[in-house]
Structure 1
Amino acid sequence: MVRTVRDVLVENLDELDEKTFKRFKNKLNDIKLKEEFRNPPRSRLETADVDDVASLILDMYMESYGVTVTIEVLKAIGQNQRASQIEQDLQKVPNCQIPSAGHEAAVPNCQIPSAGHEAAAAEPFVVRHRAALIQRMSLVDPILDELLSKRLISQEQYETARSMGTSQSKMRELYSYAVSWGLQDKEMFYQILRRHNEPLIRDLESSGSR
């Protein structure tokens, strides 16, 4: 089995003792991030175990920046050796490039390709394909459920969208919320759409305008 970025994160975070892991979660909640990203809600970290935290990091920051965040948090709490171990372990992960020592951004640049993965860009996938997604996304309620669980929409927004009569009207309402989302949130939206209707997403990606 091919080793993944998630495997590396889980294995190394699992090596932290209970007290250090708690410090890791606390620092993850308040460490300074790139402008387009946000810290995870404290409520999602309080009871999260190692698997939950690794999944949360990759969901919120994707593979490339998620690795950077993990290493920066470890260094911030004095776990330099563990951070170095992650860098070493990532050398065994396909398509994960480790910058040479002394590089000003000496953190792994992990571009782990997933089919049709849409990197954060000036015009994200969900923006470019807005019309098609509104017209063709047939099962919207599970998407709303996951958006609510990830706190991308409020309970009020969730109930408003659920009350709409058709899938198209639900998607239009959802897009009215997405206008204020940053790149990270739109990337998460894309991943959720892919999980619930991968054939449609693949079709749109193969149209040549990814």
Structure 2
Amino acid sequence: MCFTVRDVLVRNLEELGERNFKKFRNKLNEFPVIEPYRSIPKARLEKADEDDVADLILAAYSNPYGVTVTLEVLRQIDQNRIAEKLEQDLETASNYKKPSNGHKLAGMMGTQRADTGAEHFVDRHRAELISRMGLVDPILDDLLSRKLLTDEHYSIVRSKATSQDKMRELYGFSRSWGVGDKDTFYQILRKHNEPLIVDLERSGSC
């Protein structure tokens, strides 16, 4: 069976139990991530379950830095056994990328900057999301309700004839979004087309 990094993260987070998982969420919000990343807002973590937290980690930090953050947070809450198991399980994940030395060092020190060249998931897969996303209107409705699109921008995108044209126009407006906004965009995309997002996360490897 083919497992992804997300699958492995969820499985190991579930082993924490309710009390330690709450500690993990709190520490994840406090963890001093390296630039250009930003900490996941506390409000998004408070009621998140294991699946939600895995999604937030990968959307905010991608693979492999999300793995580094997860491992360091586990160690900071004295869950070394699960951290070791997570490292072992990740070796079986189809899309696992080992963290660079810069990521490892910055993760341990917490305050150092690393030249990551990191791209958010929605930027890294821009071309695929434009060409392969089917129904775009429900996505626009959610973006409007989250105030990531103005009424004017919403109307402009809706007026385009094809899904590809709508997504292309939407990406034009997304250039001003910060990391948190892109996290929300990722969650909305996953809500409306989870099979596509999972396929992109697998990166075609199995």
- Could you tell me the TM-score, scaled by structure 1's length? 0.60
| Counterpart amino acid of residue 22 in structure 2 | K
| Counterpart amino acid of residue 85 in structure 1 | K
> Structure 1 residue 163 and structure 2 residue 155: aligned?
yes
Cα separation, partners in 2 of 1:167 and 1:174, compared to 1, 3 Å: same
Q: Deviations over 1:124-165 (max 9, x none)?
A: 5688x7xxx6xxx8954233245468xxx626x343433336
Structure 1 unaligned segments of length 5 or more: list them. 108-118, 203-210
Q: CA deviation at 1:84?
A: 1.3
Aligned to 1:144: 140
| Counterpart amino acid of residue 2 in structure 1 | C
**Higher RCO (CA 8 Å, separation ≥ 6 residues):** 2
> Structure 1 residue 154 and structure 2 residue 147: aligned?
yes
Aligned to 1:60: 60
Tell me the SS of whatever aligns to 1:154.
coil
Tell me the SS of whatever aligns to 1:161.
helix
* Alignment RMSD (CA, Å): 4.3
Q: Deviations over 1:16-74 (max 9, x none)?
A: 12221111111111211121222222222111111221122223222322211211211
In 2, distance between residues paired with 1:23 and 1:61?
A: 20
Number of aligned pairs?
A: 174
Question: Map of 1:94-109 to 2, 5 A cutoff?
Answer: 94=94, 96=96
Does structure 2 retain, via aligned residues, the 8 Å contact 1:29–1:39? Answer: yes
Aligned to 1:28: 28
2:177 to 171, 176, 181: 181
- Could you tell me the TM-score, scaled by structure 2's length? 0.61
Richer in helix (by share): 2
After TM superposition, the structure 1 stretch with the greater mean CA deviation from structure 2, 56-65 or 41-50, is 56-65
| Structure whose alpha-carbon radius of gyration is higher | 1
Q: CA deviation at 1:120?
A: 2.1
